[in-house]
């Protein structure tokens, strides 16, 4: 396909596709393909005019080269089999609104009055039936108020008012449904799996790294510990523990054995497995996310629940006010005017839309919030707890120093340590292996079976002697490694500006390896920004020694820290904070942080952390910038301020309309128009960005 450049500015290009027409599917495919190109920021494709608007920061020539080779077949091969957007839904709702307006205009302008009366009665019958059904169930809702209002107008012969009110209600309900569905779909797309490649297992047992889009039902894929299942399937090999929190909301892992059905979005906490794929990418997973957003109580914040509850409680008062108005004035028009205005629509729509909009605004910055109540908790939080490694630091540790003990050689100890650590893909282990490689040390196998103790260290045997490497707690307390008297002075003189990894052979300390993990450059500013945003207490929990932790805490402006802690210690600390009445945010990135992330009021996984941590967390932040935490706090505070303003506006404006109708100063049709217009305008305001609206 060829494109013509219609207009161009630096970083912006408006194009027209050289084609007579473009289907909705083709427009989705073109938009998704352009978004996937390097250097492209945002894309808009208008299928009716075949126009394309591209905002980019990369090279213009590269973008033009990409466009010159575009074809739908090429894009179909490169992208997932199913590309989704709101385009089809938007067109359907636009056509529905056009039909409603056209039908109402034709009825008012061209139909004789008797026929118009018949049409009004026939079109409002479904609304009466629905109101009667709701009333028969013992509930008083806004649907009952609408049915009574239209029925009263028809009984008094005011068919024009009845028809206008019915039309306005249809338009309002259509717009409300459209805005809510679009918000849910936008959020669901941002929460979809971001898995591009998988390990495919051929029938002959050969493994190959292939694009996810190439997988078809019947293929076998391998999923390792800590990774997410990208597709639905049947477990063929391996006993595993799956965390299905993203699907069920339950964080307790579930045992799965061969023959069990497994679903995309689950995370393998323990074990490796082979999956026989039953459904390809895009099938069912997206729909499950949409249902989770619409149905899960995790989406409902306390303020949303209060809004819905208050709206329902106000319905009988509106009905009572209408009845009282009729008893006092004997004027049906005034009574109907009161019925035309209720608090339910605005309260029940504006609050969820505000939350969905805020979550979508966060999603554009690659911050995924998995429920509205978590934003409310972030706004209310007064304590932030940081894990250190990978969160406050870059998670790229390096070996700063090797200190031998027991008469050992420095290079030999580094070689032995690398031999032990090469079996485990931990950042500290990688640093040791890299240091040995940089010094040209050959670390071929010299040990027996290796046992990895999570969050502690490694145990094995070398030449028949026990060998251990790990933290001070593990080496000296758990394994009872001794320090020779002649080494004590040098051991106590080890500088505490780095973290130390200790190695013992034959029960005697043989080496200490200093590990340096530089802090993130923005860490200090992020802690200060959180304090400015209203966080009263910033805490750091780390497995490092006390001196190193104290030095880092002082450097960052941390209020409190705990050193040499285990995963269960982090969870215990959070429990203690809860008992003290504090609202806690936990920020981490590793598998060992998952208990604390689950227990906190809000668990946040940052950066390219472990998959299991990202799945268990309530919020994930993809940006490698801790300042996004402060931005999220400001966004949550702005959301709560908007919700407070919405409450005041709905109660004040609709209350005024009710009083005007009761005193005969507002006709029923005018009241319905003002009520529905205010609800729609309020909903549109709720969909605007919070921080840009407040200058944040």
207-233: per-residue pLDDT in tens?
888 877 678 888 999 988 777 788 888
pLDDT: which is higher, 328 or 533:
533
Q: Which residues contact 420 (CB under 8 A, 6 or more apart)?
A: 447, 450, 458, 460, 467, 469, 503
pLDDT: which is higher, 3 or 140:
3
* 507 pLDDT more than 90: yes
299: confidence class by pLDDT, cuts 50, 70, 90:
very low
13: confidence class by pLDDT, cuts 50, 70, 90:
very high
Q: Do residues 578 and 571 lie in contact, with contact meaning Cβ atoms separated by under 8 Å?
A: no
* 285 pLDDT more than 90: no
- Picking from 503, 520, 507, 506, the residue whose alpha carbon sits closest to that of residue 436 is 503
Per the domain annotation, does 614 fall within a domain?
yes
Task: Say if residue 241 is in the same domain as residue 336.
Answer: no
Mean pLDDT confidence for 566-595: 86
- The strand pairing partners of 367, in sequence order, are 621
* Mean pLDDT, the chain, integer: 81
Question: What Rg do the C-alpha atoms of the chain give, in angstroms?
Answer: 32
Instruction: Dump pLDDT digits (tens) for 345-356.
Output: 667 667 777 887
Identify the CATH number of the domain in which residue 47 sits: 3.30.70.100
Mean pLDDT is lowest, of 247-256, 390-399, 593-602, 665-674, for: 247-256
* 380 pLDDT more than 50: yes
283: confidence class by pLDDT, cuts 50, 70, 90:
very low
Mean pLDDT is lowest, of 53-67, 334-348, 352-366, for: 334-348
Task: Say if residue 214 is in the same domain as residue 141.
Answer: no
First to last CA, the chain: 42
Mean pLDDT confidence for 402-426: 87
* Alpha-carbon gap, residue 549 to 685, rounded angstroms: 46
pLDDT: which is higher, 65 or 317:
65
Q: Domain tally for the chain?
A: 5
Q: Do residues 176 and 93 lie in contact, with contact meaning Cβ atoms separated by under 8 Å?
A: no
* 510 pLDDT more than 60: yes
Query: Which 8-state DSSP code applies to residue 592?
Result: G
Give the DSSP H/E element, type plus range, for residue 420.
helix 410-421
Task: Say if residue 315 is in the same domain as residue 170.
Answer: yes
* Alpha-carbon gap, residue 312 to 322, rounded angstroms: 16
Residue 327 confidence (pLDDT): 84
Per the domain annotation, does 551 fall within a domain?
yes
Residue 183 confidence (pLDDT): 61
Separation in Å, CA 196 to CA 208, 214, 243, 610: 14, 10, 21, 17
* 125 pLDDT more than 50: yes
Task: Say if residue 602 is in the same domain as residue 528.
Answer: yes
Identify the CATH number of the domain in which residue 477 sits: 3.40.1110.10
Residue 557 confidence (pLDDT): 92
Task: Say if residue 22 is in the same domain as residue 67.
Answer: yes
Residue 589 confidence (pLDDT): 79
Per the domain annotation, does 628 fall within a domain?
no
φ, ψ at 269 (rounded to 5°): -80, -40
Residue 50 confidence (pLDDT): 92
310: confidence class by pLDDT, cuts 50, 70, 90:
low
Residue 398 confidence (pLDDT): 86
From 253, 281, 309, give the residue that closes a domain. Answer: 281
Instruction: Dump pLDDT digits (tens) for 128-168.
Output: 888 888 888 877 776 777 777 778 778 777 787 778 778 87
Per the domain annotation, does 42 fall within a domain?
yes
128-142, 196-210, 332-346, 523-537: which is most confident: 523-537
- Picking from 677, 620, 627, 674, the residue whose alpha carbon sits closest to that of residue 228 is 620
Per the domain annotation, does 629 fall within a domain?
no
Residue 575 confidence (pLDDT): 92
Per the domain annotation, does 595 fall within a domain?
yes
Task: Say if residue 436 is in the same domain as residue 580.
Answer: no
Residue 307 confidence (pLDDT): 59
Task: Say if residue 406 is in the same domain as residue 508.
Answer: yes
Identify the CATH number of the domain in which residue 565 sits: 3.40.50.1000
Token pair for residue 347? 């309260």
* Alpha-carbon gap, residue 304 to 333, rounded angstroms: 34
From 31, 54, 79, give the residue that closes a domain. Answer: 79
Token pair for residue 355? 């939350």
Instruction: Dump pLDDT digits (tens) for 454-473.
Output: 557 888 888 888 999 988 88
Residue 305 confidence (pLDDT): 58
Task: Say if residue 263 is in the same domain as residue 177.
Answer: no
From 281, 310, 341, give the residue that closes a domain. Answer: 281
Mean pLDDT confidence for 476-494: 92
Task: Say if residue 472 is in the same domain as residue 610.
Answer: no
252: confidence class by pLDDT, cuts 50, 70, 90:
low
Per the domain annotation, does 290 fall within a domain?
no
Per the domain annotation, does 109 fall within a domain?
yes
Mean pLDDT is lowest, of 120-129, 361-370, 524-533, for: 361-370
Task: Say if residue 179 is in the same domain as residue 31.
Answer: no
88: confidence class by pLDDT, cuts 50, 70, 90:
confident
* 112 pLDDT more than 50: yes
* 284 pLDDT more than 60: no
**Domain limits for position 259:** 197-281
Task: Say if residue 576 is in the same domain as residue 650.
Answer: no
Task: Say if residue 112 is in the same domain as residue 60.
Answer: no
């Amino acid at each position: 396909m060829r494109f013509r450049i219609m207009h161009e500015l630096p970083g912006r290009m408006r194009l027209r596709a050289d084609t007579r027409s473009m289907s909705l599917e083709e427009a989705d495919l073109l938009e998704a393909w352009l978004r996937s190109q390097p250097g492209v920021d945002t894309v808009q494709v208008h299928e009716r005019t075949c126009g394309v608007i591209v905002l980019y920061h990369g090279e213009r020539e590269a973008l033009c080269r990409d466009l010159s080779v575009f074809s739908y077949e090429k894009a179909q091969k490169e992208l997932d089999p199913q590309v989704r957007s709101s385009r089809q839904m938007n067109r359907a709702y636009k056509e529905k609104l056009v039909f409603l307006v056209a039908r109402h205009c034709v009825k008012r302008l061209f139909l004789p009055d008797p026929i118009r009366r018949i049409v009004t009665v026939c079109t409002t019958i479904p609304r009466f039936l629905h109101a009667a059904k709701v009333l028969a169930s013992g509930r008083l809702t806004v649907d009952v108020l609408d049915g009574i209002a239209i029925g009263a107008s028809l009984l008094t012969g005011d068919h024009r008012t009845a028809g206008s009110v019915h039309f306005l209600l249809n338009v309002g309900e259509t717009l409300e449904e459209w805005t809510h569905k679009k918000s849910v779909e936008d959020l669901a797309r941002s929460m979809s799996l971001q898995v591009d490649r998988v390990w495919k297992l051929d029938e002959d047992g050969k493994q190959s790294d292939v694009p996810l889009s190439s997988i078809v039902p019947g293929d076998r894929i391998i999923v390792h510990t800590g990774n997410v299942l990208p597709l639905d399937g049947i477990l063929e090999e391996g006993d595993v523990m799956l965390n299905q929190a993203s699907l069920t909301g339950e964080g307790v892992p579930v045992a799965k054995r061969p023959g069990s059905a497994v679903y995309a979005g689950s995370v393998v906490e323990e074990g490796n497995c082979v999956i026989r794929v039953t459904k390809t990418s895009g099938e069912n997973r997206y729909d499950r996310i949409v249902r989770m957003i619409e149905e899960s109580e995790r989406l409902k914040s306390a303020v949303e629940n209060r809004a819905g509850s208050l709206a329902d409680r106000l319905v009988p008062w509106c009905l009572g006010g209408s009845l009282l108005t009729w008893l006092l004035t004997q004027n049906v028009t005034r009574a109907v005017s009161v019925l035309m205005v209720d608090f339910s629509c605005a309260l029940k729509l504006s609050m969820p839309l505000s939350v969905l909009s805020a979550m979508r605004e966060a999603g554009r910055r690659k911050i995924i919030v998995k429920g509205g109540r978590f934003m409310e908790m972030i706004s209310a939080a007064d304590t932030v707890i940081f894990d250190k490694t990978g969160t406050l630091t870059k998670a790229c540790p390096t070996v700063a120093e090797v200190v031998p003990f027991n008469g050992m050689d420095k290079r030999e100890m580094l070689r032995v340590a690398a031999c032990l650590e090469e079996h485990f893909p931990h950042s500290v282990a990688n640093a040791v292996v890299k240091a040995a490689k940089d010094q040209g040390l050959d670390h071929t196998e010299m040990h027996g079976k290796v046992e990895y103790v999570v969050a502690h260290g490694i145990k094995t045997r070398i030449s028949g002697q026990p060998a251990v490497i790990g933290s001070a707690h593990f080496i000296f307390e758990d394994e009872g490694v001794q320090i020779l008297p002649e080494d004590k002075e040098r051991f106590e003189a080890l500088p505490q500006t780095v973290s130390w990894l200790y190695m013992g052979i034959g029960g005697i300390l043989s080496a200490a390896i200093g590990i340096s993990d530089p802090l993130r450059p923005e860490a200090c500013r992020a802690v200060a920004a959180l304090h400015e945003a209203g966080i009263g207490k910033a805490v750091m929990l780390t497995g490092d020694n006390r001196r190193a932790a104290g030095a880092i805490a002082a450097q960052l402006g941390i209020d409190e820290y705990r050193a040499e802690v285990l995963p269960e210690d982090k969870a215990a600390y959070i429990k203690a904070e809860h008992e003290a009445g504090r609202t806690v945010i936990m920020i981490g990135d590793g598998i060992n942080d998952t208990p604390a992330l689950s227990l906190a009021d809000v668990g946040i996984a940052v950066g390219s952390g472990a998959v299991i941590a990202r799945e268990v967390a309530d919020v994930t932040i993809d940006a490698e910038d801790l300042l996004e935490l402060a931005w999220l706090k400001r966004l949550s505070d702005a959301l709560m301020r908007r919700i407070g303003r919405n409450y005041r506006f709905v109660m004040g404006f609709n209350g005024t309309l009710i009083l005007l109708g009761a005193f005969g100063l507002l006709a029923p049709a005018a009241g319905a128009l003002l009520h529905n217009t205010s609800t729609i305008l309020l909903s549109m305001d709720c969909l605007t960005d919070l921080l840009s609206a407040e200058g944040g």
